[in-house]
Each structure stands twice: as structure tokens, then as C-alpha cells.
Amino acid sequence: MAAPRVAGLTCPNCGAAITIRALQQTQTVVCASCHAVLDSRDQQLSVLQQYQAKMTYEPDLPLGTRGMIRGDPYEVSGFQVRSVRQNDTDYFWREYTLWNPYKGYRYLMEYDGHWCDFDITRAAPPEEVNGRQPFVRYDGATFRHYRTTTVTTEFILGEFPWQLRAGDRITSRDFIAPPRLFSEEVSPQSTVWALGTYVPAQAIWRAFGRPGNPPPARGAFFVAPNAHTPRAFRLGKIAAAIGVPVFVALVFRHLFAPRGSVFDTQIPYVAALALAVLPAFVETRRASKFEDARWAASDYAADEM
Ligand SMILES: [Zn+2]
């Protein structure tokens, strides 16, 4: 990958040197020293926003960090902290714009230690409706509408191939088929779709050669895979493999055992049956609780569709 190009630009706000990596595509660049937001389509880099935020944030993947995503090298070129307000609480997450001179842009999002990798696409999949919940079909999966929110950009660093300032608001609609999701963002300028895939934090850390361990993922993230579902399925098969012969043996015992001794001889069979079925039952309950938690922050109930 080519080294970042320094075009001899300086920040009109503080005089610091400005580096622009994707000179042709970049529309907005943030001064690394004073955080002023600058218009990079203008030779003079006119100031779009002088003081962008009360708080500053440190990206987990620093600007300029390079990593391999799906076999291609990408460089972290932009960072934004975004928020959504729900029930009077603001929830914050982080997005990293990644750039490759031959492949273009993609981005990563991180919330509570959960990561998603996004491919940007202009083409929206056709939308259908079942009851009151819209959905889209893509690549053999049904992506159910999760929620519609107003997303606010709180803080930005680096450079962006579109106009962006702190305080900007867009309308976002998410459609999920865990571990994937479609995200639609509607701004006055454009409508953009992106297809995201859940990525374990360890994989991001490895891809970008980050030292140590990533912060642990917390909570039931809305597109995290439900680890209980495959476990419940495996335990269900074990339960059937053990439970069916035990049940058949129990029936035989019941029919052919001498009267009076039936109660004594049934106990080990019933116990074996319970032990075979219980783990599958518990894991199925956990899987269903996880789905309830997944859909808790959505516009729908877990079993709506
Ligand atoms: Zn500056």
C-alpha cells in the first residue's frame, strides 16, 4: 500500500500539518491536533466546524493502523463515535472507516466489545412486509427489520469520503439475520446500504495486530450468534439417542414386570430419562432467553414473525 500522501496542507485553525490518505475521495478531514473539521474539497481547507465536541475519544484501532480484512489490506482512515437515544438513555458506539486504494472503503463498528464488518453497497435489496414487520431477502437469508433510529455523530477523527460534522443526524434502519445485518442510512444527501457480519473481537485484534486482548464483549448484542442454539440441537440429539431406548425399555418393563415391584424398577429408568432430556431442555430455554434479550431493544417482540 502506498504511504500516506502529505500534500503540504496546513490546518487554517491551528497551523498543524494535515495528512490526507485518499486525496481524490476525501471530502472531510479532521485536524489531528485541534480536531477542527475541514472541507478537503477546498484548496484552503476551509473550517466547517471549529469545536466539534465537549468530549474527545480514543479509537481502539488508531488512525493509520493496517490490517487484513477478507484477504485485502486496509488502513484505518476515519473514526466516529455515534449515539442513539432510547428511553432517555444515550447509547454510544464506535465506527472505523477502512480504506484500500484498489478496493475502496468499508467500515467496522464496535459496541460493548462486539464488532461488525460492513461492506458498503448502493443497491437496496427489495423490501417485503409480513404483518407489521418489514424484511428483505438476500443470499438465502431473511433479514427482519430490527428498528428504526435517529443516529447522531458525536465525534470524528481522520478523513471521510462524504461530508460529515459532529452533531450530524441520519435515520438508520437495521434488518437482521444474525450473524449478518443490513443497515440503511438515510441522510439529506443520500441513502446508503451496508451489509455487515459479526466478527469476534479476537479476530479484529489479530487482523490489525493489536497488542494484548480486546475488551471483553458484554450483553446480548443484536447480531451476535446465539451460541445456545447449536448446543441445544446437539443435546437434543443426545437426549433422543439415550431417551428413546430408555423409554422403550421403561414401557416393556411396565408391561411385563411382576405387579408390586413396578414402582421400584421404574425409578432408574425415569431418572435416566430425566438426565438425558434435562440438558437439552435447559439449553433450549437459554437459547430462547438469548433471543428475547436480542430483540429487547428492537421495535418488535422476539416471536413477532
Ligand atoms: Zn488544527
Task: Tell me how far CA of residue 13 lies from CA of 27, 30, 36, in angstroms.
Answer: 18, 11, 7
Q: Which of 207, 236, 267 is the last residue of a domain?
A: 207
Shared domain for 106 and 243, answered yes or no, is no
Average pLDDT over every residue of 45-50:
91
Shared domain for 170 and 250, answered yes or no, is no
| pLDDT of res. 5 | 53
Average pLDDT over every residue of 195-203:
97
Residue 50 Cα to ligand 1 midpoint, Å, equals: 9
Shared domain for 242 and 195, answered yes or no, is no
pLDDT grade, residue 31 (50/70/90)? very high
- Higher-scoring residue by pLDDT: 130, 76: 76
| 118 within a domain of the structure (yes/no) | yes
Residue 11 Cα to ligand 1 midpoint, Å, equals: 5
Shared domain for 24 and 149, answered yes or no, is yes
Distance CA 277, CA 272 (A): 9
| Residue 280 lies in domain | 228-295
Average pLDDT over every residue of 83-110:
95
Residue 33 Cα to ligand 1 midpoint, Å, equals: 5
223: nearest Cα among 301, 281, 143, 283: 143
Shared domain for 245 and 279, answered yes or no, is yes
Average pLDDT over every residue of 124-151:
92
| pLDDT of res. 127 | 92
- Assessment of whether the complete model's pTM goes beyond 0.85: yes
pLDDT digits (tens, 9 = 90+) for 234-283: 999 999 998 888 888 888 877 877 666 655 667 888 888 888 899 999 99
Shared domain for 188 and 252, answered yes or no, is no
| 212 within a domain of the structure (yes/no) | no
Residue 38 Cα to ligand 1 midpoint, Å, equals: 9
| pLDDT of res. 184 | 95
| pLDDT of res. 86 | 86
Average pLDDT over every residue of 203-220:
94
Q: pLDDT over 90 for what percent of the chain?
A: 69
Contacts of 234 (CB under 8 A, 6+ apart): none
Residue 303 Cα to ligand 1 midpoint, Å, equals: 51
Residues having C-beta closer than 5 Å to ion ligand 1: 11, 13-14, 16, 31, 34, 36
What total of structural domains would you count in the chain?
Answer: 2
Residue 124 Cα to ligand 1 midpoint, Å, equals: 38
Residue 31 Cα to ligand 1 midpoint, Å, equals: 5
Residue 170 Cα to ligand 1 midpoint, Å, equals: 26
Shared domain for 34 and 182, answered yes or no, is yes
Average pLDDT over every residue of 136-164:
94
Average pLDDT over every residue of 217-228:
92
Residue 51 Cα to ligand 1 midpoint, Å, equals: 10
Shared domain for 58 and 193, answered yes or no, is yes
Residue 36 Cα to ligand 1 midpoint, Å, equals: 6
Residue 278 Cα to ligand 1 midpoint, Å, equals: 63
pLDDT grade, residue 125 (50/70/90)? confident
| pLDDT of res. 246 | 85
Residue 37 Cα to ligand 1 midpoint, Å, equals: 8
Residue 46 Cα to ligand 1 midpoint, Å, equals: 11
| pLDDT of res. 206 | 97
